[in-house]
Amino acid sequence: MEHQRKKKLTNFTIGLLFLSGGIEYAVILPTIWAYLQTLHAEPYFLGLGISAFSLTGLLAGPLFGHWSDRTQRTKAIILFANVFEIAGNFMYFMGVSKWLLLGSRLVAGVGTGAGASIFGYLTRSTTSQERATVFAAVMACRQVGLLIGPACNLFLRLCNFRLGPFEVNKFTSPGLFMCLLWILLQFVVVAMYYDLQPSPHPQRVVAVLQEEEEPLVQQDAGQEAAGVERGGYGSVLAGQRAPAEPPMEDEYRYVPNGHLAEEEGREKEKSPFQNFSAMREYLREEVVVLLTAQFITLFNQTALETMVTPITQRYLSFGELENSIMYFLCGIEVICGFFLVRCLSSRLPDRVILVLGLVICNVACVWCLLFLARPQGSFPVLLSELVVGVSLQVLGLPFVAVSQVSLFSKVTAERTQGFSQGLRRSVGGVATILGPLWAGGLTENLYIMLGVMMGLLSLLMVMVGLSYTYLVELPRGYGPGTSQEEQRS
């Protein structure tokens, strides 16, 4: 009972952390463009400011993830990461110059690296069957934050007073608000977050024991044969194919006790430098496809988000209030989308949900290319075209986000989930850097911007189609010397 109580408190705290991350995003984004204008910043600073937050996050993610893999602890990592959030948001509140504003987003971005450790913990504490549901719930918490954030802006925009040498107005108040919120969360983490060791699930006990005896990637003769049988693009790597799929949490082969000494002897005979072959796990076809999906979907999402604010200002004369309402409505739609995916995840495979999400994203990109690249017409017509384009893009996001995160956790080793999730988030971080930079420099050439986004989505659809049969968790009993065809027979 005590363990269950601590686990519920820990999960509740995780939800609050993602909730706060969503609030920060929704509070900062609608006002950062006008804030930069008051500091006489050039237009490209909008892309720099949004990208800076992701730059340090993508660097910190793998480091924090590796830290949690080594220690199997996340509480200290979260407390350490939150210090950067507090400092970065206070710098944003100061608002002395455009360069300090840029630096504030760089500092605050380090705090997002703790997400890799949290996803690693969630992977280790859930089974593959319930993982998509858990991930959907956690991501929904962030979307609730995106819903609450614009509501916070409704009263933050009314601030107009001085706090010592600093002026508190509708532009600086979001930084002060988030600084205080992250300080409050520090106390919540200290009081309610526990470093619990996940209780082993019965079907994974053998897998955990076996992981201690075998490296992440084996290069046995049977695997080489399986690699030859398995075709598709990217099937040849340095003269031989990496294993068709990694031995997953449920699928490590059983080694009888009498053979343990022989297995240990083989491991000792191997060169220490062969441990680097574990990195080849991330070059397998299905892993590359999922990382590509992470990159392209976030690249397109952040590019569209960067594009929307200037478009609404230019063609619809939207201000901070109207933009906040728009993000509020988008938050409601995304939350509904995550609940829909949560229900579908128990009935449909992850790869089917992924394809559904990509189809919706393709339709959204085509719509934007046709109607938003050169907006024309009256206010109601322009507003309707914008609403449809944004709604389609927002609808596809939960499908792609949940499915690719769940699939990625199933095709990478469980014992290094912290680093793996950090790598995945870093790829997403690169996308959230390049997306705003790409869109920020092409707000006057929307055909080029949207055309490239459409091309990337088409490429992703081809990759997913070619690798569709491999985007699954391998059946139990799979071993390094066993091919998929033998498992199916």
pLDDT (0 to 100) of residue 246: 42
**How far is it, in rounded angstroms, from Cα 111 to Cα 149?**
18
Angle, CA 474 vertex, CA 478 and CA 129 arms, to 5°: 125
**How far is it, in rounded angstroms, from Cα 362 to Cα 368?**
10
Tell me if residue 260 falls in helix, strand or coil.
helix
Angle, CA 367 vertex, CA 364 and CA 372 arms, to 5°: 115
Q: Which residues pair with 162 in a beta bridge?
A: 167
pLDDT (0 to 100) of residue 121: 82
**How far is it, in rounded angstroms, from Cα 423 to Cα 414?**
14
- The string of DSSP codes covering 341-401 is HHHHTTTS-HHHHHHHHHHHHHHHHHHHHHHTSS--S-HHHHHHHHHHHHHHHHHHHHHHH
Residues 6+ apart with CB under 8 A from 113: 56, 57, 59, 60, 61, 63, 64, 65, 81, 422, 425
Instruction: Decide: 243 and 278 in contact? Cβ < 8 Å.
Output: no
Dihedral sign for Cα 218, 224, 226, 228, please.
positive
**How far is it, in rounded angstroms, from Cα 35 to Cα 25?**
15
Task: Copy the structure tokens of residue 39.
Answer: 């500091």
pLDDT (0 to 100) of residue 279: 66
Instruction: Decide: 111 and 17 in contact? Cβ < 8 Å.
Output: no
| 141-196 pLDDT, tens digit each | 887 887 787 778 778 888 888 888 888 888 888 889 999 999 999 999 998 888 87
CB-CB neighbours of 484 under 10 Å: 18
pLDDT (0 to 100) of residue 295: 92
Q: For the range 70-75, what are the long-range contacts, defined as Cβ-Cβ under 8 Å and sequence gap of 24 or more?
A: 72/195, 72/197, 73/195, 74/114, 74/117, 74/118, 74/120, 74/121, 74/193, 74/195, 75/189, 75/193, 75/194, 75/195
**What are the φ/ψ torsions at residue 161 (nearest 5 degrees)?**
-155, 175
Q: In which residue ranges of the chain is pLDDT below 70? A: 128, 198-279, 443, 474-489
Q: What is the pTM of this model?
A: 0.68
**How far is it, in rounded angstroms, from Cα 351 to Cα 471?**
6
- The string of DSSP codes covering 385-449 is HHHHHHHHHHHHHHHHHHHHHHHHHHSS-GGGHHHHHHHHHHHHHHHHHHHHHHHHT-TT-HHHH
pLDDT (0 to 100) of residue 52: 82
Position 311: which residue type? I
CB-CB neighbours of 212 under 10 Å: 7
